[in-house]
């Protein structure tokens, strides 16, 4: 089946620290991979995506590379800010004809000033 596993939170870092949130997936086809972010009191926003192996998605200083050999899509940022505090969801869409998105359980990130 299709599933997403991401590191449990909460993760607390100091401002300007390096961030990694691990995500691995299981999929039967050729999925597209996403990171969504949920800021306090808001809905889900697409942060970045990758649609095929070795693609790198990037946005707002965040990056994630689609690694088929390790079935991973880890989220990284070189220097986090207080405004990055949010819940981050790794997700996949099983293939281009699939309707649904399958989400990981979310990782809460808190950045200390």
Judged by the rule CB under 8 A, the positions of this chain that interact with another protein are 32, 34, 36, 42-46, 49, 51, 89, 96-106
For residue 57, the minimal CB distance to another protein (Å) is 10
For residue 16, the minimal CB distance to another protein (Å) is 29
By the 8 A CB rule, do 19 and 109 touch?
Answer: yes
Structure tokens at 68: 């088929």
For residue 17, the minimal CB distance to another protein (Å) is 26
Pick the closer one to another protein by CB: 33 or 80.
33
Pick the closer one to another protein by CB: 80 or 92.
92
For residue 20, the minimal CB distance to another protein (Å) is 21
- How far are the Cα atoms of 15, 42, 97 from residue 64, in angstroms, in the given order? 20, 23, 23
Distance of alpha carbon 62 from alpha carbon 56, whole angstroms? 10
Distance of alpha carbon 52 from alpha carbon 30, whole angstroms? 7
Pick the closer one to another protein by CB: 20 or 45.
45
Pick the closer one to another protein by CB: 49 or 77.
49
- How far are the Cα atoms of 38, 46, 48, 87 from residue 43, in angstroms, in the given order? 6, 10, 15, 11
């Amino acid at each position: 089946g299709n599933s997403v596993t991401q590191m449990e939170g909460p993760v607390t870092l100091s401002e300007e620290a390096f961030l990694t949130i691990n995500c691995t997936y299981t999929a039967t086809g050729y999925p597209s991979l996403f990171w969504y972010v949920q800021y306090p009191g808001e809905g889900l926003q697409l942060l970045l995506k990758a649609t095929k192996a070795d693609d790198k998605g990037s946005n707002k200083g965040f990056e994630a590379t689609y690694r088929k050999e390790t079935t991973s899509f880890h989220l990284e940022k070189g220097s986090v800010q207080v405004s990055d505090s949010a819940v981050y969801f790794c997700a996949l869409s099983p293939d281009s004809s699939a309707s649904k998105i399958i989400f990981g359980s979310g990782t809460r990130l808190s950045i200390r000033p």
